[in-house]
Amino acid sequence: MTNVPRLTSNSIEVPGALQAIETYFEKGWSDGLPVVPPTPEAVSATLEAANLSPDAILGIEPVKGAVITAEKAAINAVMAGCKPEYMRVVAAAVDAITAPEFNLHGITVSTMGAAILLVINGPIAKELEINSGVSAFGPGHRANATIGRAIRLIVMNVLGTRSDEGLDKATLGHPGKYSWCIAENERGLPDNWEPMHVTRGLGESESSVTVFSGLSGAQFGDHASNTPEGILYSFAERIYPLGLGVHEVILVICPEHAAHFDEAGWTKQQIGQYLFDTIRKPESEWVPNGLPSGIKNGGEGDVSSLQSPESVIPIVVGGDGGAWSAVIPTWSLGSRSKAVTRKIKSNG
């Protein structure tokens, strides 16, 4: 092998693969699941696949000033089970989560217990076989499982944000903190909808990762509605309990529901405007938490739960069968953590 990048991390000798796995458990370097032993050869191959020098800085966590180098990110990516070609996505995701507006420190140490949701757009989703379809949030797809896991391991190992003896103080947390990575189902988009990354300013032929500080989602079935208004009533019922001041909330729209928006010719912008106009009550009827649901259809002077029509971020996700969609709130209702999109560099 020529031009092997020089790695500077400390190394330890282990007598075999199983012993290596146990060593990482004992040192507190795992997420509770076995890791792939990160040999220098595997880490170098991962860096090379993304054209990254080991000392390249992928991101700096703004509050603590903690540096995430390509070498440390790659070590954790190998441990997570990533193929070398996934490293481009991991690198872009590290760039995204360290953007000041994402507030990585706040979302990872808070009792609110947010996870980091990665949503991939563009050609790379197909290239890397990142699942966007049947059981998109479920197991069984290496790219989804390991890219999301790599980001969590980086947060735990490089930033020290662990729940055992570190900074993670989440009251409940949720399973997305192990791994949470999907692609948008661009095939299921209505004809007049652009993919999320295009809405957020990138070109359709580009690939991207968008990071969200996602809380546990609320899935619902609405097999009866076949109009935008009917489906959005079901979404609104899940947004009401969030209360006032929703700056960002993710609408996970399944393809069957998306088809009804397509048939009616509704745009994403219309969805945001409709919900902004509809999820309203007199200010006196809103309470900070535990809000009972109930659409009032917004009388004169009523206050919207949403800060603006742009507060809702619709994405199409999931398998073709079934009318199951979901609302995923974000940490601080998005007031102190904003979704961040970063282009994934091509290797060409």
Partner 1 sequence: MAPENNGTSFRVLDPTATQSIATDGMAERPESLAGMRVGLLRNDKLNSEPLLDAIYDVLAERFDLSSAYRVNKGDASRPAEPEFLSDFSNEVDVALLANGD
Q: 325 or 332: whose CB is closer to partner 1?
A: 332
Is position 111 an interface residue for partner 1 (rule: CB under 8 A)? Answer: yes
Is position 308 an interface residue for partner 1 (rule: CB under 8 A)? Answer: no
Q: Who contacts 143 (Cβ-Cβ below 8 Å, separation ≥6)?
A: 83, 86, 89, 128, 129, 130, 131, 181
Q: 228 or 329: whose CB is closer to partner 1?
A: 329
Q: Who contacts 273 (Cβ-Cβ below 8 Å, separation ≥6)?
A: 309
Nearest partner of 133 among 189, 176, 177, judged by Cα: 189
Is position 163 an interface residue for partner 1 (rule: CB under 8 A)? Answer: no
Two tokens, residue 144: 């989804």
One residue of 19, 51, 135, 308 binding partner 1 per CB under 8 A: 19
Q: 62 or 322: whose CB is closer to partner 1?
A: 62
Q: 158 or 254: whose CB is closer to partner 1?
A: 158
Closest contact distance (angstroms) between CB of 247 and partner 1 is 14
Q: 226 or 335: whose CB is closer to partner 1?
A: 335
* CB-CB contact of 182 with 130 (8 Å): yes
327: left (phi over 0), alpha (psi -120 to 50) or beta: beta
Binding segment for partner 1 among 5-13, 134-142, 204-212, 220-228 (CB under 8 A)? Answer: 5-13
| C-alpha pair distances (Å), 335 with each of 23, 68, 245, 281, 343 | 41, 26, 8, 20, 24
Is position 290 an interface residue for partner 1 (rule: CB under 8 A)? Answer: no
Closest contact distance (angstroms) between CB of 150 and partner 1 is 10
Q: Which of residues 29-88 bind partner 1 (CB under 8 A)?
A: 29, 37-40, 43, 63-69, 72, 75-76, 79
Q: 38 or 272: whose CB is closer to partner 1?
A: 38
Is position 348 an interface residue for partner 1 (rule: CB under 8 A)? Answer: no
Is position 161 an interface residue for partner 1 (rule: CB under 8 A)? Answer: no
Closest contact distance (angstroms) between CB of 109 and partner 1 is 8
Backbone φ and ψ for 277, nearest 5 degrees, come out as -75, -25
Q: 52 or 251: whose CB is closer to partner 1?
A: 52
* CB-CB contact of 149 with 178 (8 Å): yes
Q: Is the dihedral of CA 222, 225, 226, 228 positive or negative?
A: negative
Is position 166 an interface residue for partner 1 (rule: CB under 8 A)? Answer: no
Is position 16 an interface residue for partner 1 (rule: CB under 8 A)? Answer: yes
Report the C-alpha dihedral over residues 254, 137, 122, 307, rounded to 10 degrees: 60
Q: Which helix (H) or strand (E) holds 154?
A: helix 142-157
Question: What is the rounded distance in angstroms from the CA atom of residue 104 to the CA atom of residue 144?
Answer: 21
Binding segment for partner 1 among 104-112, 204-212, 294-302, 304-312 (CB under 8 A)? Answer: 104-112
DSSP 176-199: GGT--EEE--GGGS-TT---HHHH
Question: What is the rounded distance in angstroms from the CA atom of residue 324 to the CA atom of residue 56?
Answer: 42
Single-letter amino acid code for the residue at 335: S
Residues in the interface with partner 1 (CB under 8 A) total 48
Closest contact distance (angstroms) between CB of 270 and partner 1 is 34
Question: What is the rounded distance in angstroms from the CA atom of residue 91 to the CA atom of residue 38?
Answer: 17
One residue of 117, 153, 312, 327 binding partner 1 per CB under 8 A: 153
Binding segment for partner 1 among 16-24, 90-98, 138-146, 244-252 (CB under 8 A)? Answer: 16-24
Q: Which residues bind partner 1 (CB under 8 A)?
A: 7, 9-24, 29, 37-40, 43, 63-69, 72, 75-76, 79, 103, 105-107, 109-111, 153, 157-160, 332, 336
